[in-house]
Amino acid sequence: MKALTIQIGILGRINVGKSSLMNFMTNQNTSIVSSVAGTTTDVVHKQMELNPLGPVTLFDTAGIDDASLLGEARIEKTQKAFDSSDIVLLMCETGNFGNFEKSIIKKTEKSKTPCVIVISKTDLKKPDDLFLEKLKKYTKYILLFSAFTSNRDNFLNALKKILMEILPDNYIENYLALRNIIKKGDTAVLVMPIDLGAPRGKIIMPQVQIVRHILDLNAASYTVQDTEYEIALQNLKTPPVIVITDSQAVKRIVLKTPADIKLTTFSTIYAADKSDIVEMAKGAAGLNNLCDGDKVLIAESCTHHASADDIGRVKLPKWIREYTGKNLEVKYMSGQNYLEDIENYKIIIHCGGCTLNRKGMLSRLNKAVEAGISITNYGIAISVFQGVIEKVLEVFPEALAAYKKALKFQF
Ligand SMILES: Nc1nc2c(ncn2[C@@H]2O[C@H](COP(=O)(O)OP(=O)(O)OP(=O)(O)O)[C@@H](O)[C@H]2O)c(=O)[nH]1
Ligand code: SF4
Ligand SMILES: [Mg+2]
């Protein structure tokens, strides 16, 4: 990886629609779009959050097909943008894939830079099978795009799917949701009740990982049980930048926390780190839309020894029935054989997936999303049951917006 964020260079002939794609993806008018050929003369870059992959930097470049129209300096800058690209989006219009495009493909092959071909202006002309077959010789990653008629979510989702395949594992794995919330020198209060479900003498993995992330961010964490929470708040000279609590104590902790302090749960942060918090939040809205007879799947990715009041087998089935007041068919499943009969379920409530890597968890989530089934995780579901979900999601504004939108859609 050439930088901390993934660098995506948009290349293509003059006037092919590069600046339009950049503006479409970032949802901003960062780059000037015009029918005058050679409008973009300098490299324009813009950072965006491509949830759940993390931050990416897009480079809009000057068209580089006709050197006579451009000064040497511009060509050099576009070449530099190419050199620092981890991925190239090569734009072409339908029917117009010639020596120029082939020379870019050659360069990407030489530098081992993955290349996605984006066919532009498809509202004017759609590619036929012959043209698509021709392009497939160069890359299996082909996207169709129109700045006027493409749906932004659909386009970004298709691109994300490709990126998931081509990005190196360490980029996907090392996502740190807290980096947008906690800064160097900040203090976070962590609330970890020691109840019957807590393992003797240990702190569970998601909590340990979050303590480590806070250390990585050069910030401080102050760990207490819920019984000492108020004293902890009083002891701090300045209020914490965030309170992160165990999900089962969340309602109690929200009630004891001043409204202007950010508050979320370990499970919410874990969902963002391990999978896609926006999809998980959207999925949580599905808990408000269950009817008698609906099937609910409670899925765990490891087969741990269950205690008498096990959360997946005992507590969650009880809470979801109490919350919805419906006669639901709740099935529990653990281990590898996840989602063999996925289409039968209305909603999946998944464990945190601490034994899976991020790619594994995202692939489970994507299977559900593609089948049109709501999916969320244990802790997020508990925040819904306890009536504090909107407070808990405030630290992830995009997820909160997705939750509210999904709710509206249902009623
Ligand atoms: N119909 C249609 N027109 C488009 C589309 N995308 C871009 N255009 C038009 O094509 C022209 C060029 O678009 P730009 O986005 O400026 O293209 P560019 O590749 O950045 O151009 P240069 O910077 O000059 O190389 C403008 O008139 C756009 O409105 C599209 O998807 N459909
Ligand atoms: S994989 Fe899931 S069920 Fe197993 S310990 Fe981790 S969170 Fe719990
Ligand atoms: Mg341009």
Model pLDDT for residues 69-81, shown as the tens digit of each residue: 556 666 677 777 7
Atom of ligand 1 lying closest to residue 12 CA = 19
Q: What is the pLDDT of residue 68?
A: 46
Q: What is the pLDDT of residue 2?
A: 41
**Ligand 3: distance of its center to the CA of 315 in Å?**
56
**Ligand 2: distance of its center to the CA of 232 in Å?**
29
Residues with CB under 5 A from ligand 3 (ion): 18-19, 39-40
Q: Is the CB of 187 under 6 A from ligand 2?
A: no
Model pLDDT for residues 309-335, shown as the tens digit of each residue: 788 899 999 999 999 999 999 999 887
**Ligand 3: distance of its center to the CA of 381 in Å?**
45
Q: Is the CB of 351 under 6 A from ligand 2?
A: yes
Closest residue by CA, ligand 2 atom 7: 352
Q: What is the pLDDT of residue 325?
A: 97
* Alpha-carbon dihedral angle through residues 380, 316, 375, 51, given to the nearest 10 degrees: 20
What does each C-alpha distance from 126 to 18, 123, 156 come to in angstroms? 18, 7, 19
- With the C-alpha atoms ordered 290, 294, 300, 303, is the resulting torsion angle positive or negative? positive
What does each C-alpha distance from 346 to 108, 206, 252, 331, 410 come to in angstroms? 44, 27, 30, 11, 13
**Ligand 1: distance of its center to the CA of 325 in Å?**
54
* Count of other CB atoms within 10 angstroms of residue 241: 17
Q: What is the pLDDT of residue 255?
A: 97
- What's the pTM value of the predicted model, to 2 decimals? 0.72
Q: What is the pLDDT of residue 32?
A: 81
Report, as ranges of residue numbers, the positions in the chain whose pLDDT lies below 70: 1-4, 64-75, 170, 173, 196-197, 304-308, 336-340, 410-411
Whether cis (ω within 30° of 0) applies to the bond prior to 52 is yes
Q: Domains for the chain: give ranges and CATH numbers.
A: 6-173 (3.40.50.300), 179-268 (3.40.50.11420), 276-410 (3.40.50.11410)
CA-CA distance, 16 to 18, in Å (whole number)?
Answer: 6
**Ligand 3: distance of its center to the CA of 75 in Å?**
14
Q: Is the CB of 29 under 6 A from ligand 1?
A: no
